Amino acid sequence: MSITAEFRAPAQRGEGSEAEILACLERIAASEGFVGSAQLVRFLRYVVESSLRDEAGLLKESSIGVTVFNRGSGYDPKTDPIVRVEARRLRTRLAAYYEMAGAGESVRISLPKGGYCATFERTVEVPMPSVVGGRRAWPGWALAAGFVVVSILAGVTYYRVSAADRLVSRFWDSLLGADKPVVLVPADSGLVMYQDVTHRAVSLSEYVSGEYRADVRSPMTSRRYTSIADLEFATRLSGRPEASKRGVQIRYARDVRMEDLKGGSVILLGARHSNPWVELFEKDATLRLTHDEVSRVFRVVNKRPQGLEAAEIAVSPEELRNEIYGIITYHRNREGSGRVLVVAGTSVAGTEAAANLLLDPTRLRPWLEKASAGAEIGGFDMLVRDRNLAGNAPQAEVVAFHVESNRF
């Protein structure tokens, strides 16, 4: 008699280990999340096969850029973040695979943050004690009791993990799983440049009519610019399993019309300063970002301060170099039948900090639990803060969290 227990350990080079990993690699490559992305599969094969051969020298950002993504010999990762962007996308797709189609896999392939060397984990069977000198090492009743305890603990752990995973999935399904694709509107970086030059804010009505563009005739008013952080968020969001139902419809902010926002769920990236459409959905939010075009000061406005929270936080251009803020608001779409998610920051790094929290199930889960009432996830507003490290956002801390009083 034996008990099968699961533990995490690096895959050994013993007989069959490498074959198991490569077989798992093929199943991943053929899965729904990877079969349509040849570039991502090529990246995954490269890091897995190089890791199995202990070729750490090939798993540097510069080497991967040249070999996998066909960058030239002069490839500079500082100016072209393709490897980092695709690595994040790969981690998201792998996590989704093991949550869904690969839940029963005996081998787990992962790409830990901070590097490009793949790691391998597997489930092993732990045998029970054998008969020694005609007697069992453990009494039968103890063996049975131990089995029951292990089963109960395993069941409780599985239930907790599954329930938590379902909560995150339910949140994304409320946005991505509707009858029609969610409309995702990235920030208009050209609008930001225009307002910085003219020192005047563009209202939503001006933005929709396009009248403001007659003031300054330059590429900034005619070309389409957005941030790499917004595009990365859209890419990672499209990789979630819930998005496989209807997909994500990305609309440039200048092309959006009122009717586009009334039919279902909407995701807006940026504050009013970079995405005027946010104005339509701020009535339900307790947190918002404003920007003074003359002083270039960002303000975090807290309409419902709790405890020691400030009613307003002003961040000057000088302070933005060191400190960033991001907000996440999630409420019912009063213009339609779905939900509205707004992700914004005092800078690109601030938006990225908020987006990173949203796309990290471990960090998002506790806040969803606070906003949940039974089977429903109520509306909420969240403020995050972090240091600005060379324009990049590390792991931000949550400094304010408000749950909608009238849950839907």
SS3 for 226? coil
Instruction: Check: CB of residue 355 under 8 Å from CB of residue 233.
Output: yes
Using alpha carbons, list the distances in angstroms from residue 354 to 251, 344, 386, 399: 21, 7, 10, 12
Phi, psi values for residue 141, rounded to 5°? -65, -35
Taking the C-alpha atoms of residue 69 and residue 303, their distance in angstroms, rounded to an integer, is 47
Each residue's pLDDT, cut to its tens digit, for the chain (408 residues) gives 333 233 233 444 333 478 888 889 999 988 888 877 888 889 999 999 988 888 877 788 998 988 888 888 788 888 888 899 999 999 999 998 988 888 888 889 999 988 899 998 875 444 445 555 555 454 554 444 444 444 444 443 333 444 557 888 899 999 988 778 899 999 998 898 888 888 889 999 989 888 777 765 556 666 778 888 888 888 888 888 888 777 889 999 998 988 888 878 999 999 999 999 999 888 889 999 999 989 999 999 999 999 888 999 999 988 888 889 999 999 988 766 789 999 999 988 889 889 989 988 888 999 999 998 777 899 999 999 987 655 455 567 899 999 987 544
Between the alpha carbon of residue 364 and those of residues 104, 320, 359, 396, 397, the distances in Å are 25, 25, 7, 12, 12
pTM confidence score: 0.61
* 8 Å CB contact between 284 and 379: yes
- Closest CA relative to residue 48, chosen from 122, 110, 113, 124: 110
Decide if 338 contacts 246 (C-beta within 8 A): no
> Can you name the residues that pair with 248 across neighbouring β-strands?
182
Residues in the chain, overall count: 408
Report, in angstroms and rounded to the nearest whole number, the Rg of the chain calculated over CA atoms. Answer: 25
Question: CA 54, 89, 360: angle at the middle one, nearest 5?
Answer: 105
